[in-house]
A and B are shown apart, each in its own frame.
Chain A
């Protein structure tokens, strides 16, 4: 699929169809054909697939080349540059004449229909919106052909949400299918119904589900078990009211292991989303589940083990019994089963008191854990993240296996990084020589991040193992000698830590370090080196010279290098209060107090200054005080967190090393429902098929001025205003992926915001009132427009043109407004692009948008500017930016918005400079306030100008 074509299909606006229809009808007038086809040309018009009558016959006809070519029997739809969707006439007949053909028809018909539906699914797969075929596809649902049925079900899953009213048509077939003699179809019906998240369908799901939970066939029961979880996700109350939870719990005693496993998975899922205790494992269920464990599929074993790991054994004996029954799982070929078994054993081990048993278990777990490292790299990664946790709790398990964590040449980088981490954890006096050899080897690899980590690892081993520290330092010095810049810098950083761990032990190497002074260009390495010089100033003969060389660039250094320089200079002065250091300290203190705007630096400098000037001895006590010895805890996890993570072995939590709450954000079913409701109310508004952008605005916006006053309230703006963040719609997002300049049709306009400000009052627009505002939704700029027809005639043919402007704002697509009957209003969201057609210089003219109104029945009646076609031109200012809706997380809009606002201000208040940092809520507030008052021609504007 080229990035190009999807646009044509996914953006199809319903509002275009009448227009298209008209055009096409005129084209078709010469033909006696009951088929009217709306087809796309590549660039010109977008197509909604088809509108049809029940039967047709087309002879060879060649309609305008812009639209469609028909050959005898073949209708070609130009879907894209690369792909053509062909529908033969007969297929169309079959597919769309479905109503005429009796249900199960003959074999041939159903094959043809299947091919047609396949094509629809193919179009859906490549991201085209084929929701307009809903009724026809659903008509194919009643079929004996299983493959066709599956395809129709698939279609339903994808589109039922966008056509909730039509989806009801499918209910009967669903219910019927759920009683089919074939278990495959029964299961399919229940499975699919559970996937359709439409309330009306859900209501009808209960009875079939009840039956299926008691079905004779285990295949149906296992599907029904999962379906309960689906239903709970949509409507938890319904599940509880109808007693599905009890039925589900009964399934735990089912004689089929697969059903048991799925029931466990479903219950665990439900428990996760409920605050009430629903699924509690008793010793009775425990033994049942342990029995099922031996017989169910590998995935089922994972469900059961994961659920059982929550079980708290009553005493050590029970724990031992459980462990005994779980240990055989360590021999399973499926890595997930092994990891879940390890989790369960580790949980129970906490209770086991006998050291022999524990030792034995540790011995048993080691080989399976090692074998995980022969799995696929992705699984190795998960295993390594988990092993990292396991060795923190039970270091003995893998104490003798460090060699298996040595990196192979071809290991992916993410595996290498994790192996390194575990090597540090397992390094001991016994194996350190070998480990150091490895680290040294890695330090000459190509990947910079890995090399740095290897160098750091050497330092961490030095800090961890006192007896090996010297050997570590020797290796570091060898690495420094090969003079690879980033190796040297990293080495210096870790050596600083080593000095802090073993004060007054290894200072002899300082001379070697000083040799590489000039090569340091990274702040952290610089800061470390400066710290070393300051700390050991009395032992370095030329410490003052060395520091002086850094001082030259003091103002340009990053903050923490400056802080280190300040402290180091003070230390130097206290240790060697001679003339040189005294001058240096003057310079530094001056730099750090007068010439900096960093409050941390300034405060620290003042403290030193006062200390030095009042009591140098006290300064010595403070600055040169003995430092506490550090230890390597950089990657150790807090014990309580570790407990939690160990209980989550194999899950994402253990991969991230974060508790589940830190990253699980479940979209609740309630949010989903509001969206559906929004949609429902909108589809009801059938006379204006175009998108109602801001329906809430229409009642207030009728009288000009009023809405504006309402919007004028200085709204409290939060840094990340996200009013009712729309539920990320997978479908919409995916389809929108290719071109962001498209308004996803399925997404209702965002819920009510403040009414749009009026930019063209009815008085100036001869009855046409326009309210508009630039707004930003989901990282895209839109021009939200509301048109109100206060004239006596219908208005049609709206167009918009943006004048050249500093910000290069231009419409990304044509303006789509339906015909406006007198007294009605319609809103639209016009996608905008920036940096198109920019004009130079300050935006003194502001934005001027032109609205052209054509095809008025009686153009002469109106006063005003007319264009050549007799339409009416209205000029107006573009209106303010909707700051509440600005998405501050996105850099692009950030920059654009920022730029825009700034320019706006400069133009109006030439001497007012507003520095706007949009992440600062206070300033935004100011901006927001001012933007609002700057609507040209309003009283507020004059007021604002007066105050300035």
Chain B
């Protein structure tokens, strides 16, 4: 269990090594699984754009931690180079080496807070007039925030983003649905502010005896950013924290309760004598009139050999996207409780045997955004910010619901 990584590799798309750092001097690098064992060495890898990040180990190391670490490495590099790809690694190999030295030691993940790292590992050589020292934050209990941050205007932006995941089977039953929400924060606060967030969490409200005030909700599973004091939350459900500077996900939560699909899509497929295929699609919005979904995109899979699209829609525009083997129906604005139709026809040039197995088709996928609305009904009741200098900070809150993995299987 006390295993650690042997080496970390950054490989290009063909598997050639771009940069590597050998942490132990005992490792070497090729199944589909992200964890592969070969000849005494275990390889764990992930892909990002056109590079692979890979860890090799000879021990029984913590696979979850190392794989997650690789994802964090991507975040760190992205912070430094905007986009992480082969080119940016090649161009910045010196910084990459410096980072690799700092984020891991002897195969043990050490420190992956990009913001703090950039305080003492800089990309631009000329910005280093002062002697660098490790920021206090590296070893502090508050490892995500440095001291001495100053803003003229102290503001906090809080986005409550909920994505709806839904899976409907071919006979129209909802087989799974859940809501994954995230509280995304952007903080521009001076000093070391102490924040306290209040939600309409049923457990908390009941504990405080305030059941009467509005609706309260049950959250299935809550995950907090490392800045949140977990033991405090466990004790009295208070969400208190010193936030990092800038953007971060304060918390994510999940609701397993079944929700009514916000946009329901039904498709009828008619196959005429195997040379022509006809789709009739109905899309219905199942939310209140006062909400409106924007940027709705319904992706309807069509056979790979379909040609000559002939499409009519009652609203929006539909275009055939051969590269995705799909017809994409885009609706800019989709008000609540409305129903729209699409009819389309394709010709199928390929000749297939009469009894051939119908190929499995991808599901219908839907994307949308509904601003000012949350499925769960979550509400931010307050966000208190206390700093010893006593400034007033402005919290801004915004709600939005989006489609996550929204799949409706075709018959």
Which residues of A line the B interface, CB within 8 A? Answer: 1, 111, 114, 118, 121-122, 125, 127, 146-147, 150-151, 154, 157-158, 161, 182-184, 187-188, 191, 194-195, 197, 217-219, 222-223, 226-227, 229-230, 233, 256-259, 262, 265, 268-272, 294-299, 302-303, 306-307, 309-310, 325, 327-329, 331-336, 338-340, 367-368, 370-371, 374-379, 381-383, 386, 403-404, 406, 408-410, 412-414, 434, 437-438, 441, 444-446, 482-484, 647-648, 650-656, 660, 663-667, 672, 727-728, 730-731, 733-734, 737
A444 to B363, CA, bound (A): 13
Assess the B167–A651 pair: CB atoms within 8 A.
no
**In the complex with contacts A409-B363, A437-B169, A655-B35 CB distance below 8 A:** yes
- The secondary-structure label for the interface of chain B is mixed
A663 to B141, CA, bound (A): 37
Contacting residues of chain B (31-56) with chain A, CB-CB under 8 angstroms: 32-35, 37, 40, 42, 44-46
Please pick, from A262, A367, A368, A483, the residue contacting B108 in the complex, using a CB distance under 8 A: A262
Assess the B231–A294 pair: CB atoms within 8 A.
yes
Assess the A332–B175 pair: CB atoms within 8 A.
no
B317 an interface residue at 8 Å Cβ cutoff? no
Chain A binder among B109-117, B148-156, B204-212, B388-396:
B109-117
Q: Which chain A residues border B270 with CB–CB below 8 Å? A: none
- Provide the B148-190 mask, 1 if CB < 8 A to any CB of A, else 0: 0000000000000000000101100001101010000000000
**B2: shortest Cβ distance to chain A, in Å?**
3
Q: Which chain A residues border B231 with CB–CB below 8 Å? A: 294, 325, 328
Which residues of B line the A interface, CB within 8 A? Answer: 1-4, 7, 16-20, 22-29, 32-35, 37, 40, 42, 44-46, 57-65, 67-71, 93-94, 97-98, 101, 105-106, 108-112, 120, 125, 128, 131-134, 138-141, 143, 167, 169-170, 175-176, 178, 180, 220-226, 228-231, 233-234, 249, 251-252, 254, 256, 355, 357, 359-360, 362-363, 405, 407, 409
**A876: shortest Cβ distance to chain B, in Å?**
37
**B291: shortest Cβ distance to chain A, in Å?**
25
Residue among B23, B45, B63, B230 with max Cβ neighbours from chain A (10 Å): B63
| 10 A-B residue pairs with CB within 8 Å | A121-B94, A184-B120, A262-B110, A268-B2, A299-B65, A307-B2, A370-B220, A371-B221, A650-B63, A734-B17
A386 to B62, CA, bound (A): 12
Please pick, from B18, B101, B226, the residue contacting A150 in the complex, using a CB distance under 8 A: B101
Closest to A434 in B: B175
**B30: shortest Cβ distance to chain A, in Å?**
11
**In the complex with contacts A297-B143, A331-B234, A663-B134 CB distance below 8 A:** no
**B14: shortest Cβ distance to chain A, in Å?**
10
Q: Which chain A residues border B29 with CB–CB below 8 Å? A: 734
Nearest 4 A/B pairs, CB to CB: A268-B2, A367-B221, A336-B65, A328-B230
Please pick, from A383, A408, A664, the residue contacting B167 in the complex, using a CB distance under 8 A: A408
Please pick, from A147, A298, A414, the residue contacting B128 in the complex, using a CB distance under 8 A: A147
List 8 extra interface pairs beyond A438-B175, A663-B40, CB under 8 A: A183-B134, A302-B65, A332-B226, A335-B68, A336-B68, A340-B64, A483-B355, A651-B1
Q: Which chain B residues border A111 with CB–CB below 8 Å? A: 125
Please pick, from B16, B19, B46, B58, the residue contacting A378 in the complex, using a CB distance under 8 A: B46
**In the complex with contacts A147-B94, A230-B106, A259-B230 CB distance below 8 A:** no
A249 to B309, CA, bound (A): 73
A331 to B405, CA, bound (A): 23
A383 to B28, CA, bound (A): 26
A386 to B362, CA, bound (A): 29
Assess the A663–B180 pair: CB atoms within 8 A.
no
Residue among B64, B68, B97 with max Cβ neighbours from chain A (10 Å): B64
Please pick, from B37, B233, B252, B363, the residue contacting A333 in the complex, using a CB distance under 8 A: B252
- Tally A-B pairs: CB < 8 A: 296
A664 to B2, CA, bound (A): 12
A295 to B232, CA, bound (A): 13
**In the complex with contacts A187-B134, A217-B134, A331-B226 CB distance below 8 A:** no
**A47: shortest Cβ distance to chain B, in Å?**
22
Closest to B226 in A: A298
**In the complex with contacts A223-B105, A230-B106, A731-B97 CB distance below 8 A:** no
Assess the A191–B105 pair: CB atoms within 8 A.
yes
Q: Which chain A residues border B409 with CB–CB below 8 Å? A: 441
Residue among A230, A370, A483, A655 with max Cβ neighbours from chain B (10 Å): A655
Assess the A648–B67 pair: CB atoms within 8 A.
no
A299 to B134, CA, bound (A): 18
Q: Which chain A residues border B220 with CB–CB below 8 Å? A: 367, 370
Closest to B35 in A: A655
A258 to B405, CA, bound (A): 38
Closest to B230 in A: A328
Q: Which chain B residues border A672 with CB–CB below 8 Å? A: 25
Q: Which chain B residues border A233 with CB–CB below 8 Å? A: 24
- The secondary-structure label for the interface of chain A is helix
A672 to B131, CA, bound (A): 38
Please pick, from A158, A227, A367, the residue contacting B254 in the complex, using a CB distance under 8 A: A367
Please pick, from A127, A223, A376, A651, the residue contacting B62 in the complex, using a CB distance under 8 A: A651
Please pick, from B3, B25, B139, B405, the residue contacting A652 in the complex, using a CB distance under 8 A: B3
**In the complex with contacts A333-B224, A666-B26, A259-B139 CB distance below 8 A:** yes
Q: Which chain A residues border B35 with CB–CB below 8 Å? A: 378, 381-382, 652, 655-656
A723 to B408, CA, bound (A): 61
**In the complex with contacts A219-B139, A367-B254, A378-B134 CB distance below 8 A:** no
**In the complex with contacts A256-B139, A374-B180, A410-B405, A734-B20 CB distance below 8 A:** yes
**In the complex with contacts A184-B120, A381-B34, A257-B141 CB distance below 8 A:** yes
Q: Which chain A residues border B58 with CB–CB below 8 Å? A: 664-667
Q: Which chain B residues border A151 with CB–CB below 8 Å? A: 94, 97
**A334: shortest Cβ distance to chain B, in Å?**
6
Residue among A409, A410, A654 with max Cβ neighbours from chain B (10 Å): A409
Assess the A378–B97 pair: CB atoms within 8 A.
no
**B172: shortest Cβ distance to chain A, in Å?**
12
Q: Which chain A residues border B27 with CB–CB below 8 Å? A: 728, 730
Assess the A226–B234 pair: CB atoms within 8 A.
no
A858 to B97, CA, bound (A): 57
A237 to B180, CA, bound (A): 53
Please pick, from B33, B65, B94, B360, the residue contacting A414 in the complex, using a CB distance under 8 A: B33
Closest to B258 in A: A403
Assess the A332–B230 pair: CB atoms within 8 A.
yes
Q: Which chain A residues border B176 with CB–CB below 8 Å? A: 403-404, 406
Assess the B3–A482 pair: CB atoms within 8 A.
no
A150 to B29, CA, bound (A): 26
Q: Which chain A residues border B70 with CB–CB below 8 Å? A: 378
Assess the B7–A269 pair: CB atoms within 8 A.
no
Assess the B65–A184 pair: CB atoms within 8 A.
no
Assess the B59–A295 pair: CB atoms within 8 A.
no
A21 to B57, CA, bound (A): 43
Assess the B224–A299 pair: CB atoms within 8 A.
no
A146 to B256, CA, bound (A): 52
Q: Which chain A residues border B94 with CB–CB below 8 Å? A: 118, 121, 147, 151
Residue among B60, B222, B362 with max Cβ neighbours from chain A (10 Å): B60
Assess the B405–A484 pair: CB atoms within 8 A.
no
Assess the B357–A332 pair: CB atoms within 8 A.
no
**A595: shortest Cβ distance to chain B, in Å?**
40
Assess the B139–A222 pair: CB atoms within 8 A.
yes
Closest to B143 in A: A297
Assess the B108–A379 pair: CB atoms within 8 A.
no
Assess the A218–B254 pair: CB atoms within 8 A.
no
Q: Which chain A residues border B18 with CB–CB below 8 Å? A: 125
A493 to B143, CA, bound (A): 57
A5 to B231, CA, bound (A): 57
Residue among A226, A654, A731 with max Cβ neighbours from chain B (10 Å): A226
Please pick, from B16, B64, B252, the residue contacting A1 in the complex, using a CB distance under 8 A: B16
Please pick, from B4, B111, B230, B362, the residue contacting A269 in the complex, using a CB distance under 8 A: B4
Assess the B64–A339 pair: CB atoms within 8 A.
yes
Closest to B249 in A: A333
Assess the B46–A265 pair: CB atoms within 8 A.
no
